[in-house]
Structure 1
Amino acid sequence: MLDKELLDILVCPVSKAPLIWQESTGELVCKANGLAYPVRDGIPVLLAEEARTLDDEELRRL
């Protein structure tokens, strides 16, 4: 789990929209553009080239 205070200030580097912590996948998700950023060893990797594009089903579940 990521720190609540950290989650409150993190935004997507592409859309500048808030990020949502998805514990099941260990990723920070941006609903605005459908990107999922990995968290490695508790550190968010907020690089567009490291992000994964969510499929339609994953977006509907958000």
Structure 2
Amino acid sequence: MKHSLMDILCCPVCKGDLVLHVDTENDKEILEGSLNCAACGVDYPIHEGIPNLLPPTHKS
């Protein structure tokens, strides 16, 4: 995931701002880490450079 995506990404659940936590990156992109919504607290993983922004599913 490129750092420039942070300018356009928002939480798909509440449209809140996302906070980036980087575990691994190279010169071009973030490879591993997570995005956390400051408003509703949902975490979205970044794996192999791809952010997973699917809203969490709730099991009943």
TM-score (norm 1): 0.67
RMSD: 1.8
The alpha carbon displacement at 1:22 in A equals 0.9
Q: Which has the higher helix share?
A: 1
Higher RCO by CA contacts (8 Å cutoff, separation 6 or greater): 2
Unaligned runs of 5+ in 2: 24-31
Percent identity over the alignment is 43
Please say which structure displays the higher CA radius of gyration: 2
Aligned to 1:31: 38
Kindly report structure 1 stretches of 4+ aligned residues shifted beyond 6 Å: none
Unaligned runs of 5+ in 1: 51-62
Deviations 1:14-44 (A, max 9, x none): 0101211012481001010011100111111
Q: Which has the higher strand share?
A: 2
Question: Within 5 Å, which residues of 2 pair with 1:2-13?
Answer: 2-13=1-12
Amino acid at match of 1:31: A
